[in-house]
């Protein structure tokens, strides 16, 4: 059955390594007959959560920016893919800012299959805290299932990930959903 797949690409680098893995995932998922949308967080206007709790009991943020529409898409998707470069052993600010802004409706992001993508100049050991932070988000979503973690290791400059196993892995992961 065709699934709705939402890929959230967190890198500020268009055509960067994690972005390339997102495209590979998208290619595989589309070829398998799914409906896929890739959203580049860098092109959206998403302010920081201000912890004002203005959303409490309302499910709506006081800030009127691109997060409103993105939250609708997250609630409606069957599969969510979160992608980030590793920055100082963690996810980048774009992805974390987006995650924090799910506060008004994160309990509605139910029963999703989640995939994580991360890229780093160093090896797998440098990515554990990044994946762990993403798992922490998954732990907050009712019924979430983490299906896989795609690890683009040893990649520094744009495009280097094409020469690593992660390039094919991302495609296969997309095909498998």
Which token pair is 134?
Answer: 């993403």
Contact 97, 58 (CB under 8 A): no
Torsion 47-20-116-176 (CA) sign:
positive
Contact 170, 25 (CB under 8 A): yes
Which token pair is 94?
Answer: 């774009």
User: Is 16 a binder of ligand FMN (CB under 6 A)?
Assistant: yes
User: Is 86 a binder of ligand FMN (CB under 6 A)?
Assistant: yes
Alpha helix positions (H), 83-122:
93-100
User: Is 121 a binder of ligand FMN (CB under 6 A)?
Assistant: yes
Would you say 78 or 160 has its CB closer to ligand FMN?
160
Backbone angles phi, psi at 65, to 5 degrees: -145, -165
User: Is 91 a binder of ligand FMN (CB under 6 A)?
Assistant: no
User: Is 7 a binder of ligand FMN (CB under 6 A)?
Assistant: no
User: Is 94 a binder of ligand FMN (CB under 6 A)?
Assistant: no
Strand order in the sheet with 113-119: 35-40, 4-9, 79-85, 113-119, 145-152
Interacting stretch for ligand FMN, rule CB under 6 A, among 44-52, 56-64, 87-95, 107-115? 87-95
Angle at 37 between CA 144 and CA 133, to 5 degrees: 40
Interacting stretch for ligand FMN, rule CB under 6 A, among 27-35, 47-55, 141-149, 151-159? 151-159
Would you say 61 or 95 has its CB closer to ligand FMN?
95
Would you say 75 or 121 has its CB closer to ligand FMN?
121
Contact 70, 42 (CB under 8 A): no
User: Is 28 a binder of ligand FMN (CB under 6 A)?
Assistant: no
Interacting stretch for ligand FMN, rule CB under 6 A, among 26-34, 39-47, 94-102, 119-127? 119-127
Binding site for ligand FMN (CB under 6 A): 11, 13, 16-19, 85-89, 119-122, 126, 155-156, 158
């Amino acid at each position: 059955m065709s699934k709705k797949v939402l890929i959230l690409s967190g890198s500020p680098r268009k055509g960067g390594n994690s972005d390339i893995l997102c495209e590979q995932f998208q290619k595989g998922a589309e070829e398998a007959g799914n409906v896929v949308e890739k959203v580049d967080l860098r092109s959206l206007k998403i302010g920081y959560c201000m912890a004002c709790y203005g959303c409490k009991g309302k499910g709506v943020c006081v800030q009127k920016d691109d997060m409103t529409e993105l939250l609708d898409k997250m609630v409606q998707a069957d599969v969510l893919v979160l992608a980030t470069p590793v920055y100082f052993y963690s996810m980048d600010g774009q992805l974390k800012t987006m995650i924090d802004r799910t506060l008004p409706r994160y309990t509605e992001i139910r029963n999703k299959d989640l995939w994580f993508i991360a890229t780093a100049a160093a090896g797998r050991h440098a990515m554990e805290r990044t994946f762990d932070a993403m798992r922490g988000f998954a732990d907050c979503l009712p019924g979430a299932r983490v299906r896989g973690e795609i690890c683009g290791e040893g990649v520094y400059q744009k495009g280097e990930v094409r020469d690593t196993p992660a390039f094919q892995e991302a495609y296969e992961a997309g095909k498998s959903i």
